[in-house]
Amino acid sequence: MDTIHKTAYMETDAVVPLLMKLALPAVVGMMVNALYNVVDTIFVGQGVGPLAIAALSIVFPIQTIVSALAQAIGVGTASIISRRLGEKRPEEAEKALGTALTAVTIITAVLVAALFLFMRPILAFFGASEATMPYAEQYAGIVGAGFFFFSLSMCASNLLRAEGNTRAAMVGMVIGALLNTVLDPLFIFGVGSGVAGAAIATVISQIASCVYLFGMYARRKTIIPVRRENLRVRPDILGQSFALGLPSFVQSAGLGVLVLLINTTLGTYGGDEAITIYGMIQKLNMIVIMPILGIAQGFQPIAGYNYGARRFDRVRKSLRTALATAFAISLFGYSFMELFPRVAIGFFTSDAALLASAARVLRVLVLLVPAAAVQITGSTYFQSVGKPTEALVLSLTRQFLFLIPLVLSLARIFGVGGVWWAFPASDLLAVSVTSTLLLREVRRLGRA
């Protein structure tokens, strides 16, 4: 009964302040999390050069795939936990927690082994050229050793948010990102270790985040405890978790596949410079997308809990609030990049020719970036209420159904320019599909 009492505020507190309370730490945490790759790219670009930026862009899809698997299990399990708490079944939530942590550990071990056994072929497949391979090998070899801490932190952050503990998830991310920001210049400029220094800083920071997050469980500061008897994989729970988390996996892994295809396409039509430009813009875009993901993460436990409690009026209100807030945030980032593209790109490089080219491309790529607010919030809603089919469809639309085919086809016709214009075209198509499904769902909730 104590667990039930601790989570009752999910269906009693006013929706708008509740969303702000849960989303603000998640927004801060996601923004800070974005700094991992952004800070690495800034310091590597200024301290090593454009080829090193290209190398980080090549390794990024590998990091994304590891993150995607941890995120899929974490988000899917978070949906189960939120609804079990709403249904007043805390014991089932504890079993889901144990299954998630065990499964992420096993899956990460397999991925790390594969990376170290086949590193050069993997990096070549992901677009490394003879010029960028040494930098990519250095970075991947060190960062790969820290994948355990990275994936466990990603999973634990989602599990803590599921019980409404967004502050702990935020602090864990802030610790890692701030430490990374301090250590990056120390290793790159102070010690002179270049790309390897950026990787070492990242791993140390991820270890610090992981220690803090699991310290919450060790100190019994959570609603749902980690019990030794629950640390085993229950196939039925893992199946549900992965089904519900599959849309998140598709979104994150789809980004990895997308970056892989874009890097290889750009390598064919534009060479290493085009890969460098995309690497810089991708990091800037993350700064806009991450706050939207934070709003969605704050929205997720509210929607899941109240759907489980059959408070559909609160579900509708929280959805409307989350959409409006995410859209407003996206407009702010969009405006800055459209109005001041040279300032944005200038964080990464002082090369005048590269800066001018990248600034022109930036304006094209972010043309319809506010549409991501609708896309991400819509997919999160369907995950939260236990509707994996709709969530999966929305996750597939932009990256797989629209963006990848557009990149490959337009590149053949227009070259590098076709790759850039594929982004706003796919955003327009994806937001149309998302809006249609969400409107239908809101009408259904109104009749329930």
Among residues 82, 81, 72, the alpha carbon closest in space to that of 103 is found at 72
The total number of residues written for the chain in this structure = 448
| Res 25 pLDDT > 80 | no
| Res 2 pLDDT > 60 | no
The pLDDT tens digits for 72-112 are: 888 888 888 878 877 777 788 888 888 889 999 999 999 99
pLDDT attached to residue 36: 65
How much is the average pLDDT of 52-64?
82
How much is the average pLDDT of 436-441?
87
1-39 burial string, b = 16+ CB within 10 Å, else e? eebeeebeebbeeebeebbebbbbbbbbbbbbbbbbbbb
Highest mean pLDDT among 37-41, 111-115, 220-224: 111-115
Residue 44: partners with Cβ closer than 8 Å, 6 or more residues away: 52, 53, 56, 188, 194, 195, 198
Question: Residue 6's pLDDT band (boundaries 50, 70, 90)?
Answer: low
H-assigned helices in 8-146? 15-47, 50-86, 90-117, 119-125, 133-145
CA–CA separation, 423 vs 410, rounded Å? 11
pLDDT attached to residue 203: 92
Say what the pTM is: 0.67
Contact 77, 158 (CB under 8 A): yes
pLDDT: is 327 or 245 the higher one? Answer: 327
Sketch the domain layout of the chain as residue ranges: 2-447
CA–CA separation, 34 vs 329, rounded Å? 15
pLDDT attached to residue 159: 84
Among residues 172, 167, 8, 161, the alpha carbon closest in space to that of 77 is found at 161
Structure tokens at 285: 């875009």
Structure tokens at 34: 């974005």
Least-confidence region, from 20-29, 107-116, 431-440: 20-29
Scan for tokens 């199946």, then name that residue.
239
Contact 170, 31 (CB under 8 A): no
Least-confidence region, from 28-42, 190-204, 405-419, 420-434: 28-42
pLDDT attached to residue 1: 44
Asked whether the CA dihedral 32, 296, 325, 396 is positive or negative, the reply is positive
pLDDT attached to residue 422: 93
Phi, psi dihedral angles at 88 (to 5 degrees): 65, 45
For 127-178, the three-class secondary structure string (H helix, E strand, C coil) is CCCCCCHHHHHHHHHHHHHCHHHHHHHHHHHHHHHHCCCHHHHHHHHHHHHH
Mean of per-residue pLDDT scores for the chain? 83
pLDDT attached to residue 128: 81
How much is the average pLDDT of 113-137?
88
Structure tokens at 226: 């980690």
Give the rounded percent of residues in the chain with a pLDDT score beyond 70: 94
Contact 420, 364 (CB under 8 A): yes
How much is the average pLDDT of 399-405?
86
Amino acid making up residue 194: G
CA–CA separation, 295 vs 323, rounded Å? 9
Residue 36: partners with Cβ closer than 8 Å, 6 or more residues away: 176, 177, 180, 202, 205
pLDDT attached to residue 121: 92
| Res 432 pLDDT > 80 | yes
pLDDT attached to residue 38: 77
| Res 4 pLDDT > 70 | no
pLDDT attached to residue 18: 82
How much is the average pLDDT of 42-61?
79
Structure tokens at 183: 């250590």
Q: 10 Å Cβ neighbour count for 212?
A: 18
CA–CA separation, 421 vs 204, rounded Å? 38
Query: HSE of 176 in the Cβ direction (CA atoms, 13 Å)?
Result: 35
Least-confidence region, from 88-102, 297-311, 358-372, 427-441: 297-311
How much is the average pLDDT of 42-54?
78
pLDDT attached to residue 313: 81
| Local structure of 394: helix, strand or coil | helix
The pLDDT tens digits for 182-211 are: 898 888 887 778 888 888 988 999 999 999
H-assigned helices in 163-234? 166-185, 194-218
pLDDT attached to residue 317: 87
Scan for tokens 């800066």, then name that residue.
355
